[in-house]
Amino acid sequence: MTRKIKIFDTTLRDGEQTPRVNLNSQEKLRIAKQLESLGVDIIEAGFAISSPGDFEAVSTIAEHVKDSTIASLARAVKKDIETAARALEKANKKRIHIFLATSPLHREYKLKMGKEEILEKIYEAVKYGKTLMDDIQFSAEDAMRTEPEYLAEAYNAAIAAGATTINVPDTVGYRTPTEIFERITYLRENVKGIDGVDISTHCHNDLGLAVANSIAAVEAGATQIECTINGLGERAGNTSLEEVVMILATRKDKYENLTTRIDTRQIYPTSKMVSLLTGVATQPNKAIVGANAFSHESGIHQHGVLANPETYEIITPESVGRDTNSLVLGKLSGKHAFVDKMEKLGFSMDNEKIDELFAEFKKLADKKKYILDEDIISLVTGDAGKFEGRVKLESFEITRREGKPKAEVTITIDNKEQTMTAIGDGPVDAAYHAINNMLGNSYDVAEYKLDSITGDTDAQAQVVVIIEKNGERHMGRGQSTDIVEASIIAYINAVNRLYKGEEND
């Protein structure tokens, strides 16, 4: 009998808990739309009570993404649950994800609650959630370090109150696959009504076992996997979506009865988009989506692959959306080829947006010989990341004076144009000095990261800058074929986000 495995993506919630990652609601919406095209069953869009920005992101996604169920996290607290329900009001399919920790450490030191009090809180919270919507998921935080008998009681309470999914997180990534298998088996044998609900797994990667542990949970009967694109998440991250999905898809001999709704051809574009928008690059040797995942360097391997790719490849690049011989676009390409490429990469948008992006594409094609898939993904991503703020770059010029770079930068601040020159240790440093002089402020650049989006010397660069003021950090991103321009755009983007944050305070 076929068993459908639901994919619950938490890139926008646990993934956003990755240190330094901070997405605005338009960026989150762009990712959510892509997750919908990917075929994700449930998108955890955020933690609505945590900030006005997260509330806005959850409600925007609820309004615009209709195929996937949209979920918001909530503590076992009435105001969290109410806020989650309000943010989800416009969703076609919605879920509140209520959590409460159950392990001895969390009970004693964090919650300062006894066992009975926790069981009551679980029951009350889920019961209250049920008055607001039908689909309620309950997670026992730190389940895998909780006494098995008590954990079963916690899930008994959640199911008795009406939970439709019970999630069994390995919150600190402590367990091994055998232990996960045994724990899920134990719960299946000891929790009342468990056959009528989905059993979910949520594994962290502290010991590098998140993917293996998720698969072990599924082998023991779990029907939902919680995961993130590129394995993003708190500390060492979560189960990576691309890896668990491709394990189930590739090992059909072993998992012939398990299916997911994921369109695997959307995996690579989604991974690239998330990496560009979050500013977190994937390591080259990352399974499935890393730059080297389908590269063959050594002679014996190359010989084998030329004779038959299956000698050294268990997955085809095409099956995960890494088209090796796809149509190359350039400055002479027309709109049909452009739209065709966008569709193949899983992006659907209205005609007005396509016209806008096509114009951007032509400008880029004037600067670059070939436009690769990564360039198209970055065009769409860059568009989502655009942030119209108080400060705008008009022009800049870099020259050298007495051996040092000199930047002349023109910006508008609240529509008033200003020009300033400054000298620096390098061209970026000089440009930042000039901008700071015009802003009348100097921000600490806590981080500056430069990545190339594609190869070649005419490649697009992505710069991520994090600036700091009064202990608060603001991330900005810029993309251009010119690294100084990308750096200036990223800095101005970060300043605009800082200003926006101050307006909201």
Ligand X SMILES: CC(C)C(=O)C(=O)O
Q: Which residues are annotated as a binding site for Mn(2+)?
A: 14, 202, 204, 238
Contact residues: ligand X, CB under 6 A:
14, 99, 139, 141, 167, 169, 171, 202, 204
Instruction: Pick one of ligand X, ligand ACO, none as the site partner of residue 139 (Cβ within 5 to 8 A by kind).
Output: ligand X
Nearest to ligand ACO of 46, 476 (CB atom): 46
Alpha carbon distance 64, 34 (integer Å): 12
Q: Minimum Å distance from CB 374 to ligand X?
A: 31
Nearest to ligand ACO of 111, 293 (CB atom): 111
Instruction: Pick one of ligand ACO, ligand X, none as the site partner of residue 59 (Cβ within 5 to 8 A by kind).
Output: none
Q: Minimum Å distance from CB 13 to ligand ACO?
A: 8
Q: Minimum Å distance from CB 202 to ligand X?
A: 5
**Are the C-beta atoms of residues 226 and 238 closer than 8 Å to each other?**
yes
Q: Please give the annotated binding residues, written as ranges.
A: 14, 202, 204, 238
Q: Minimum Å distance from CB 204 to ligand X?
A: 6
Contact residues: ligand ACO, CB under 6 A:
14, 17, 47, 49-50, 75-77, 99-100, 110-111, 141, 171, 234
For the purposes of burial, counting CB atoms within 10 Å of the CB of 336, is it exposed (0-12), middle (13-18) or buried (19 or more)? exposed
Alpha carbon distance 25, 86 (integer Å): 16
Instruction: Pick one of ligand ACO, ligand X, none as the site partner of residue 200 (Cβ within 5 to 8 A by kind).
Output: none
Nearest to ligand X of 233, 478 (CB atom): 233
Nearest to ligand X of 14, 198 (CB atom): 14
**Are the C-beta atoms of residues 373 and 345 closer than 8 Å to each other?**
yes
Q: Minimum Å distance from CB 69 to ligand X?
A: 16
Sign of CA dihedral 298, 454, 464, 505: negative
List CB contacts of 171: < 8 A, sequence separation 6 or more.
101, 141, 142, 143, 144, 145, 202, 204
Q: Minimum Å distance from CB 169 to ligand X?
A: 3
The closest residue (CB) to ligand X is: 169
Instruction: Pick one of ligand X, ligand ACO, none as the site partner of residue 77 (Cβ within 5 to 8 A by kind).
Output: ligand ACO
What tokens were used for 415? 């529509």
| The amino acid at 452 | S
Instruction: Pick one of ligand X, ligand ACO, none as the site partner of residue 47 (Cβ within 5 to 8 A by kind).
Output: ligand ACO
**Are the C-beta atoms of residues 202 and 139 closer than 8 Å to each other?**
yes
The DSSP string of 216-264 is: HHHHTT--EEEEBGGG--STT-B-BHHHHHHHHHH-TTTSTTEE----G
Nearest to ligand ACO of 99, 491 (CB atom): 99
- Identify the CA nearest to 279 among candidates 464, 450, 452: 464
Instruction: Pick one of ligand X, ligand ACO, none as the site partner of residue 34 (Cβ within 5 to 8 A by kind).
Output: none
**Are the C-beta atoms of residues 368 and 481 closer than 8 Å to each other?**
yes
